Structure 1
Amino acid sequence: MERTQQPAGVAYAGGAYLLWGVLPLYFLLLVPSGPWEIVAARVLFSFVFCLLLLTITRGWRRIIAIIRQPRLLGWTALAGALIYVNWQVFLIGTLSGNVVETSLGYFINPIATVLLGVFVLHERIRRLQWVAIGIAVIAVVVIIVAYASFPWIALSLTASFGIYGLIKKKIGPAVDAVSGLTLESFWLLPVAVVQLIIVAQTTGITFGTEGAWHTSLMLFAGIATAVPLLLFAAGARRINLTVIGMIQFMTPIMQFLTGVLILHEPMPAERWIGFIIVWIAVLVFVVDLLIAAGRGRRIRLTPIA
């Protein structure tokens, strides 16, 4: 990895996680729109934005090459289904006053990703990583038992985004960021249309009825969805996964602070205990990443006899 690429990579990845961290506040500005209407808007306007990007960057040849490969198309469809679940659960959590629980899901996500690597890709993991996984499991059990509430929002976000990342890793460089997001959004268009029909028949569609500012924010939802994903893809190509793992914790930290300090969500003692155990697991995980990175640097610097 060229040293000149690393500052740009950190900036791209940091920008992505920074934007993801403030998304709860952005989506709260869309009230009285509900989570089902907002996700439909994200799908529709993300697709339109990606079509524009494909035209500007002359990327139609790349996407046509992907369309000619049924296997890749199938993976993009599965990725689209998973990112839909992630978006929908995240919006339900955000608009129902559970931003703190959404942050819990993204705190656990890096550890869950390691587990997927072990059981799906048959990767070996280090001892400290097993310790972090064990502590994270204890934290989830404590939250369920002590808080008397199953953290379905957090675990759904962890599972959906973790498997989504696994699929992205599997299809690798064969599907670039813009083409991938375009196809994922395309597969979700029928779902978005059905959701809008149901919303129109029940609570009523708010798009275009709440003033110019609200309409503009809804239109911008596509850009707000696509830009962080594209920044992340640009950053991931320039820096190694260890650095990505460190930066990744920006998002749940910002979401947790948003929920507690800005939205004043309740944090009883039982929930604090669960989160503290999660943070211990995260600390162990980060320490392991730092140790591994240090060993890697020493190996690279060791002269060959």
Structure 2
Amino acid sequence: MGDLTPQENEKTGLIYGILAYTVWGILPLYWKLLNVIPAYEILAHRIFWSFIFIGTLLLYSGKWKMVVDVCKNKKNVLLIFLCAAIVSVNWGTYIWAVNSDQVVEASMGYYINPLVMFLFSVTILKEKLNFWQITAITLAVIGVMIITVQYGKVPWIALVLAASFATYGLLKKLINADAMGGLALETAFSAPLALFYILFKQFQGIGAVGTVSVSTLLILFGSGIATATPLLWFAQAAGKIKFSTLGFLQYIAPTITLFLGVVVFKESFTPTHLLSFGFIWLALLIYTLSNMGKLKKRDTPAEITDSY
């Protein structure tokens, strides 16, 4: 097959991105099935079985050379190591949020994420910041502050999820490596520590194996497939479409997650939540229209293109 044209390449990336974010949106349903297992143990299994799944794919396809090629570039290896650490924080926080009935706050984190990604694109990738984008970010900050003031606590779950995944997305954009090879190395960095934790829990007699049902174990072991598949799709998307487009696609996941939190899991959604989310949704609308060129760009003295 010949090389894809830029338009075909972008279309393919868009499809991968939509698939990835849709799966991430419905993942709370999956983790809820494992709520009898502690979050850290689920995380360890998630990492280990992701490594096994990716390794099997590479072995089956005969593409182990991809990993070797990735390792030849020291910068790639360092970036992938950082990806492994950051995505582990993201996974662990998300699992804990879902299984402690804080799906609504988790969805807030992923609504904020596109704006954090945009901030990174401004401060690190040196993209322009216009009037409407400044307005969008300001409204999102107000939305977070409403929750903080009303409930007397910072929505740390939302902020950790947004910051960690935006950082992960940025690093993936900087890595010059095949998606599968990069992800294989990513999980390989974390797998030994994950396996150590799994064995430690088993030797203590409180591990999942032997204490939960067979069906729950199968779901736990399947977490590698549930995790690695959308990550592979996301990695493909990150290499084919604009960074800002990734931020736009991110709206898919929190919308599904918020629906699950309120309608399926019956979590509280107060007028304060509605007001807070309202500011965030308005911010996202302005941000989206600005990116689409529907709002006239008004560059201000606050432009950040060359500030760093």
CA RMSD of aligned residues (A): 2.3
Match of 2:220 among 218, 221, 227: 218
Q: 1:161 — aligned with what?
A: 165
Contact 2:115-2:247 at 8 Å conserved across structures: no
Q: 1:77 — aligned with what?
A: 81
Deviates more, 1:92-101 or 1:115-124: 115-124
Q: 1:195 — aligned with what?
A: 197
**Distance 1:240-1:115 versus aligned 2 partners, 3 A rule:** closer
Q: 1:270 — aligned with what?
A: 272
Do structure 1's residue 112 and structure 2's residue 116 form an aligned pair? yes
Query: Deviations for 1:253-299, whole angstroms, at most 9, x for unmatched residues?
Result: 0000110011011122222211111111111111112217999xxxx
- 1:37 CA displacement: 0.9
Deviates more, 1:38-47 or 1:63-72: 63-72
Match of 1:28 among 28, 32, 45: 32
Partner Cα distance (2:108, 2:148) in 1 = 13
Q: 2:67 — aligned with what?
A: 63
Name the TM-score, length of structure 2 as normaliser: 0.87
- 1:210 CA displacement: 2.3
* SS class of match (2:292): helix
Partner Cα distance (1:80, 1:216) in 2 = 24
- 1:5 CA displacement: 5.0
Query: Deviations for 1:69-122, whole angstroms, at most 9, x for unmatched residues?
Result: 333211111110000000000011011000011110100001001111222233
- 1:199 CA displacement: 4.0
Match of 2:185 among 178, 183, 206: 183
* SS class of match (1:291): coil
Do structure 1's residue 128 and structure 2's residue 132 form an aligned pair? yes
Name the TM-score, length of structure 1 as normaliser: 0.88
Contact 2:17-2:249 at 8 Å conserved across structures: yes
Structure 2 unpaired stretches of 5+: 298-308
Partner Cα distance (2:19, 2:296) in 1 = 25
- 1:8 CA displacement: 4.2
- 1:134 CA displacement: 0.8
* SS class of match (1:184): helix
Do structure 1's residue 97 and structure 2's residue 101 form an aligned pair? yes
Contact 2:13-2:241 at 8 Å conserved across structures: yes
Do structure 1's residue 18 and structure 2's residue 27 form an aligned pair? no
Deviates more, 1:126-135 or 1:57-66: 57-66
Structure 1 unpaired stretches of 5+: 296-305
Query: 1:138-149 counterparts in 2 under 5 A?
Result: 138-149=142-153
Partner Cα distance (2:295, 2:286) in 1 = 14
How many residue pairs match? The answer is 293
Partner Cα distance (2:296, 2:21) in 1 = 24
Partner Cα distance (1:235, 1:116) in 2 = 18
Partner Cα distance (1:229, 1:161) in 2 = 12
Query: Deviations for 1:133-186, whole angstroms, at most 9, x for unmatched residues?
Result: 111111111111012221110000111111111111122xx2221111111111
Query: 1:40-59 counterparts in 2 under 5 A?
Result: 40-59=44-63
Q: 1:252 — aligned with what?
A: 254
Deviates more, 1:99-108 or 1:177-186: 177-186
**Distance 1:280-1:202 versus aligned 2 partners, 3 A rule:** farther
The one-letter code sitting in structure 2 at the alignment partner of 1:45 is W
